Structure 1
């Protein structure tokens, strides 16, 4: 198997609620420039995705996540052989459909336990990704022991302009001085006063601009576009123009753009 990291920084996010990892294998067919995937959970092949074909092979790096402190000891194992471990998902967010809200203090106590779950001697930690509260994240960093400090910062960016995207990314890097895993981004704002994309071409252009910048920015280690779902519920309000896969499991034109490098 080729080294997935040699292909590039881009990866795929996939909701475990789909029950199977089979559809995402299509994103890693020969010639794909994508290198990794994650699914907000501990493994891609196991009881959390029970309908995955037993013989499914995905020639890409998988990065497991501990979605919330409640799942630290849920009886499910981390996918073996993983180089990285992602921390909690948007613990500053009050929407229970996408996050399990915790105070920085509670998250810090759980983080100490999370750090002990590492299964490989060189496995590196990636911080929790906040929905938007930089203050929450600053506080969290002051509360965790030095020996549990994450090696990388996980970031989510939802905006509708390239300029704001770059500004937000640079703010996170300047504030925390860590290399970044951008684990969610799309052309979408959750500010009710900011309209979504007007047409599909706008999203194609936004992807082209952002992926080029991400590939050229040395402190960005990995990135994953948000929009690989079949069930529209799992878009969680992100505009369907951002879809990489349709409801029938077919790759969209935007998905093919992403597979082919995003901006080439």
Structure 2
């Protein structure tokens, strides 16, 4: 365990405390300080991890700045299509994602496309279009300019983040004071414009007001990027930090917030309302106390340990869907209002790298359903189907096996490829812990067909002589579901007709031989 005193140390330096020392004492203190900074760095490396949501809006990074921030920040943007000059040649190796932006209307998309670096995933559109010192675009003007945004995104395979209006006073551009009103008009004019995420900026100094406008933007049924947030009032460092921590906690626990970025790293000396909100000190690579708090803020309240149960309502991020009460499985609420293209993402902590079995709890009144499974952004299972169950709260199990998960922090995403079904939970089990052979592991001496099966399977042990068999079927929790000594080798044995859907281990013993094989009942 590390006991780090970054905040105390940062305050001491910042407040300019001067102490009188003898020459020998000062030399000793210098050594202690060097060791302390080394110790702090080690603590930070072991305690901090990057939130996939957390970013910074800043355009003057040094390599040292990004190195300091990456302990808790996973992405940044600088209002331009490429990283700033000081980090342009090395940022890809620093472990913080850069997101390009089309700040205003693009007249030469071909030239813009050429500036976007390999590895980009998203494109941010039009900065503060309802501000006179912003992109200066009404919703109609933005719609007129949108084909070039789509052209750029298509050329680079990027998802599109909407324009980012903010609340403004009477001195606005186009008559739009509200970001909600600006977006409403944009989508009224162009409901088919390709927009994957909704963005806005906020500088309100009340946490409740920021949460309120965030909730107002959920009406568009798209994940939200808060691409600038801070408050523009003169406050003490403690007040700014308290505000930041409240907002970050809200954003991290709100599944509709896809990403957020604090404004900013450094500001000019005459920006008195923002001086205490700078994450970085004047020294390259050194965080101010509020910066330490920002990278240190927890993001793992919703982390779920695997093997274990993943309640569907504990998603870390989502697109679309809703929640409703249920009595099934003790979850309290299931995910509902599912439409094709919606998804739910879960932050999980995997105990061991292994192949996992996942049992999905699904209900559908009339239609068959379908979903994909993604692990850390890679589709690992495609078009997993299940039949209708006969009711919104009549749940059945859909079993998917052979899902490879790495050890540690993993992002598991369920991508819904059909409409009108409910999703309640997943039970994830390490297949290796069951002592099972590889899926469908029949051998010349062991026949098993079909597998998976929907009603029953046929099991047969081929042996030189007829021997009594001890047969046992165990579920993924280790409970014995069936056992018998009534069968023999060389006999067709029907198994599974009374089993519920799920994954089981079938163990047979005869003579001095024991075999175990996995079966899956759909």
- Normalised by the length of structure 2, the TM-score is 0.42
Show CA shifts across 1:86-121 (max 9, x none).
1100111112xxx12122212111111111102333
Structure 1 residue 152 corresponds to structure 2 residue 197? yes
In structure 1, which of residues 114, 130, 142 is the aligned counterpart of residue 188 of structure 2? 142
Work out which structure has the larger RCO, using CA pairs closer than 8 Å and 6 or more positions apart in sequence.
1
1:97-108 counterparts in 2 under 5 A? Answer: 99-108=134-143
Matched residue, 1:167: 212
What secondary structure, in the 3-state scheme, does the structure 1 residue paired with 2:245 have?
Answer: helix
CA distance in 1 between counterparts of 2:288 and 2:260 reads 19
- Name the residue aligned to 2:147: 112
Choose which of 261, 264, 268 in structure 2 pairs with 1:227.
Answer: 264
Deviation at 1:71, TM superposition (A): 6.4
Alignment deviations for residues 5-51 of structure 1 (CA, whole Å, 9 cap, x no partner): 97431111112xx4x6535423344xx1211111111111xxxx334
* 2:251 counterpart of 1:205: no
Change (3 A) 1:262 1:197: farther
Q: How many residues align?
A: 236
The more displaced of 54-63 and 86-95 is 54-63
Superposed, 1:1-264 pairs within 5 Å as 7-15=51-59, 18=60, 21-29=62-70, 32-44=71-83, 49-52=84-87, 54-56=89-91, 57-70=93-106, 73=109, 75-76=111-112, 77-95=115-133, 99-118=134-153, 119-121=155-157, 123-132=158-167, 133=178, 134-144=180-190, 146=192, 148-174=193-219, 176-188=220-232, 196-229=233-266, 231-232=268-269, 238-249=273-284, 250-261=286-297
Q: Which deviates the most, 179-188 or 54-63?
A: 54-63
Task: Point out the structure with max Rg over C-alpha.
Answer: 2
**Where is the strand percentage greater, Structure 1 or Structure 2?**
2
Q: 1:33 to 1:6 in 2, by over 3 A?
A: closer
Contact conserved, 1:94 with 1:100, CA < 8 A, in 2?
yes
By how many angstroms is 1:64 displaced?
0.9
Deviations 1:159-218 (A, max 9, x none): 1122112112111223x2221011110122xxxxxxx24311111111111111110000
Q: CA deviation at 1:73?
A: 3.9
Structure 2: where are the runs of 5+ without partners? 1-48, 168-177, 301-522
SS of residue in 2 equivalent to 1:8:
strand
Question: Which protein has the bigger helix share?
Answer: 1
| Distance in 2 separating the partners of 1:54 and 1:179 | 31
